[in-house]
Amino acid sequence: MAKALEGIRVLDLTRMYGGPLGTMMLAELGADVIKIELPGGGDAIRTTAPLTEGQESYRFISLNRGKRGITLNFHTEEGRRICRELVAKSDVLVENFTPGVMEQFGLGYQELKKHNPGLIYASISGFGHTGPYRHRVAFDTIIQAMGGMISINGFPDAPPTKVGTAIADFLGGIFADIAILAALQHRHTTGEGQFVDVSMQDCVWYLTAIQFLPYYIATGREPPRIGNRQLEVTPFNIYEAKDAHVVIGIVTIGQWHRLLGIIGREDLKDVPEYVSQATRVKHTEEIDAVVGAWTQQRTVAEILEILGAADLACSPIPTFSQVAKDPQLASRQMQVEVEQSISGKLRMPGTVFKMSKTQSDATRQAPFLGQHNFEIYSELMGYDRKTIDRLQREGII
């Protein structure tokens, strides 16, 4: 079956989390992604725990499946020349260095577009290439903070708390992919390449502001940290049951009325303060107490059965291991086996891309350091064995 991005070649100069996720997703969609690493060590995430029995990093494999891997030393003039040759034969370059680093190597967009005017050059950084923070070093938690996400996450009486997963890093890679695909379409129409400047702070702020900026503008107040509640909807929370906890979400008037009938509180139906969402959110504490009094008298299973029968949104709070065994995720192949040359069969996340005409693939292995040096430098670049051996001896590849 054909792949959606078949025929697109991507040079992947990213490392750690966000950039590699983005380029791996392009590989899942069929792009030929060539991961370029420095000789000797490579991407620092190669050494992070947990490790497989073959001493490979699970995290590196989970973020770099489906790519071909080569080594290249940008600190040498010949290495930079080779990079420019690779650019001339590629469609996309993705990097996530601090702004200015690639320019120091003579490999910034303005230089590389001379060698390939149709190049789409995507740069993922903490704060982007413009503005007063552009040269700051940034990691995920810093960007969660500076994008406003930590300010609204957690409970009112708890310390500032980040989101558990590295969401700022990953959003950078995901939004970069969206921009790259749009740039490819633009190039298809016009023949023009372009520079894509992705700020992770922009990405985090974008998602945070969509939900919380209206509240700030309308009230002039800091949005509160509301724990498991929703700022604009109530009752919508995690409630205590007899044996565990349960999520209940009520959005429409019809759902609210059905819930009141179920919990035996139809007397609240015509209370003016509870008639609409806009008024109910001002009485969240009272409403949560009413719903909580009902849930505390029942088990999670009982609550799910009763509310499910009334077509009301509800869910248990499964543990991570329970989610990992979830039959719904299993039915959608959201865990797959990857056959690594060194470590053998490993379980990895599946692909989110379910497409009827261009099936994606998350089962190809991640490269070991320099695995495809001979393949790419000989077939793509036309170097003979003698040249490749020399480049390796001299530490250029």
Which residues touch 261 (CB under 8 Å, ≥6 apart)?
Answer: none
Angstrom distance (rounded) from CA 16 to CA 22: 11
Paired with 39 in beta bridges are none
Bridge-based pairing of strands 32-37 and 9-13 is: parallel
- CA gap 40, 61 in Å, rounded: 18
Q: CA of 95: how far to CAs of 115, 124, 236, in Å?
A: 17, 6, 41
Using CA atoms, how far residue 350 sits from 4, 282, 303, 362, 368, in Å, is 17, 42, 32, 6, 20
8 Å CB contact between 20 and 173: yes
- Indicate which residue of 43, 169, 177, 197 is catalytic: 169
168, amino acid identity? A
Give percent helix, percent strand, percent coil of the chain, each to the nearest 5.
45, 15, 40
Buried b (16+ CB within 10 A) or exposed e, 136-164: eebebbbbbbbbbbbbbbbeeeeeeebee
**Contacts (Cβ under 8 Å, ≥6 apart) of 184:** 8, 91, 92, 120
The structure tokens listed for 74 are 């940008």
169 annotated active-site = yes
Nearest to 98 by CA among 9, 38, 19, 35: 19
Identify the CA nearest to 193 among candidates 258, 292, 116, 282. Answer: 116
Tokens of 394: 């001299």
Just list the catalytic residues.
Answer: 169
